[in-house]
């Protein structure tokens, strides 16, 4: 499989950077003020290319981080099929094919012909095999081992969101929903999680339980972060100087089969001081706990020194 960054650089090279920058600014404004659910945002070739150049490296990084967590929980899970709903230019497909070499049949569903066409060209450049690009609405989800929907719920009405997630639940053995790591994105993920649980799926990640989220409403939001390098093209389009960015995301993964979730999940940046690590952990009992790990428990302390935000936590520590 080729490199997404290289494929993007080749596609972008056909457009003047100033034109792409202008279209990116328009897209940012549309996403910031809220997308009209009746409209198609990626409605031209240049809009699709600008979206891919500006957002796809980040959505790809977030999905890669999610699939790393999920595939790590069930190393024996070897999905053959995947459907990515509202898949646009195919970020989830690149990340899923990297996580699961067993995938043979992959379908990307989207309403934007231009996004699908670009996704197909990028996949061709990267040598991605077995991917079908289907123009359709989000309600039409064929059954698959893995069904994903990333960064789409914000473009739907509240009613359509619940229907869309219910369609994912009917179709998928494993369902993954990803949204921006903002308070609003987290709220949408929480609502999606409720729909998945009501449909009989069990939460696999990030939560180690399928009960109510213990984060008090309005006080905090569960999210994670994925660091990605910015290519020269990416920097130019974003008018950015830093060579990297941190993509914040919220997500839920839920499965129909009985998966064993992690015993605990680190839901904040660990605070590491000399001889001591403080972790905020969401536990299998459905509660949040602030755990302090010291050298008095050497094994747990070694684990705690290495653990990162979003990782599973299996060790001990005192509250």
Ligand X SMILES: C[S@@+](CC[C@H](N)C(=O)[O-])C[C@H]1O[C@@H](n2cnc3c(N)ncnc32)[C@H](O)[C@@H]1O
Interface residues with ligand X (CB under 6 A)?
Answer: 40, 42, 55-56, 59, 86-88, 91-92, 110-112, 115, 137-138, 150-152, 155
What is the three-class DSSP state of 33? helix
What is the largest distance, in Å, between two alpha-carbon atoms of the chain? 61
Q: Which is nearer to ligand X, 28 or 289 (CB)?
A: 28
Burial class of residue 187 in the structure, from the number of CB atoms within 10 Å of its CB (0-12 exposed, 13-18 middle, 19+ buried): middle
Residue 89 backbone phi and psi in degrees, to 5: -90, 5
Say how far apart CA 253 and CA 196 lie, in whole Å: 9
3-state DSSP call for residue 89?
coil
Taking the complex as a whole, the smallest distance from the CB of residue 3 to ligand X amounts, in Å, to 17
Spatial CA neighbour of 114 closest among 38, 58, 46, 56: 46
> Considering beta carbons, is residue 137 or 214 the nearer one to ligand X?
137
Residue labelled with tokens 């600014």: 25
Q: How far is the CA of 313 from the CAs of 56, 300, 305, in angstroms?
A: 30, 10, 12
| Residue 94 or 100 with smaller CB distance to ligand X | 94
- Residue 258 CA, chain-centre distance (Å), reads 22
Give least dist CB 298 to ligand X, A: 42
Nearer to ligand X by Cβ, of 144 and 282: the residue is 144
Q: Which is nearer to ligand X, 78 or 163 (CB)?
A: 163
> Among residues 81 and 89, whose Cβ is nearest to ligand X?
89
Per the listing, tokens 């957002």 go with: 55
Smaller CB separation from ligand X, 180 or 310 = 180
Q: What's the chain's length in residues? A: 319
Least distance CB 29 / ligand X (angstroms) = 14
* β 288-294/276-283 pair status: antiparallel
Minimum CB distance to ligand X, residue 313 (Å): 28
C-beta of 123 vs 262, nearer to ligand X: 123
What is the number of the residue whose Cβ is closest to ligand X? 88
Give the residue with the Cβ less far from ligand X, 152 or 304. Answer: 152
What is the nearest approach in angstroms of ligand X to the Cβ of residue 306? Answer: 30
Distance CA 196, CA 164 (A): 11
The answer to whether the peptide bond before residue 24 is cis (omega within 30 degrees of 0) is no
Find the helix packing angle between 91-99 and 45-73, rounded to 10°: 30
Alpha-helical regions (H) of 74-202:
91-99, 113-126, 158-171, 183-198
Give me the least distance between CB of 289 and ligand X, in Å please: 32
Q: What span, in angstroms and rounded, lies between the C-alpha atoms of 212 and 116?
A: 37
Q: How far is the CB of 264 from ligand X (least distance, A)?
A: 28
Cβ at position 305, least distance to ligand X in Å? 33
To ligand X, the closest distance from the beta carbon of 59 in angstroms equals 4
User: Rounded to an integer, what distance in angstroms lies between the CA atom of residue 114 and that of residue 128?
Assistant: 19
């Amino acid at each position: 499989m080729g490199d997404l960054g290289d494929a993007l650089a080749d596609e972008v090279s056909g457009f003047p950077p100033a034109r792409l920058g202008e279209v990116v600014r328009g897209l940012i404004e549309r996403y910031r003020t809220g997308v009209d659910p009746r409209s198609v945002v990626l409605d031209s070739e240049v809009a699709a290319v600008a979206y891919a150049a500006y957002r796809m490296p980040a959505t790809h990084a977030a999905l890669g981080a999610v699939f790393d967590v999920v595939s790590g929980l069930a190393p024996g899970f070897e999905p053959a099929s995947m459907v990515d709903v509202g898949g646009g230019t195919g970020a989830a497909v690149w990340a899923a094919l990297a996580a699961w070499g067993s995938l043979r049949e992959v379908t990307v569903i989207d309403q934007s012909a231009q996004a699908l066409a670009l996704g197909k060209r990028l996949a061709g450049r990267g040598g991605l095999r077995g991917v079908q690009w289907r123009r359709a609405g989000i309600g039409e989800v064929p059954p698959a081992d893995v069904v994903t929907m990333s960064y789409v719920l914000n473009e739907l009405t509240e009613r359509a969101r619940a229907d869309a997630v219910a369609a994912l639940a009917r179709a998928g053995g494993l369902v993954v929903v990803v949204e921006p790591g903002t308070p609003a994105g987290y709220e949408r993920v929480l609502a999606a999680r409720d729909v998945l649980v009501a449909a009989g799926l069990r939460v696999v990640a990030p939560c180690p339980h399928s009960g109510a989220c213990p984060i008090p409403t309005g006080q905090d939001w569960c999210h994670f972060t994925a660091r990605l390098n910015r290519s020269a093209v990416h920097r130019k389009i974003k008018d950015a100087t830093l060579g990297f960015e941190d993509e914040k995301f919220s997500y839920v993964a839920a499965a129909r089969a009985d998966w064993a979730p992690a015993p605990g999940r680190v839901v904040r940046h660990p605070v590491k001081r000399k001889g001591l690590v403080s972790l905020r952990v969401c536990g299998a009992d459905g509660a949040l706990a602030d755990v302090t790990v010291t050298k008095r428990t050497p094994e747990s302390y070694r684990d705690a020194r290495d653990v990162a935000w979003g990782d599973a936590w299996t060790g001990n520590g005192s509250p």
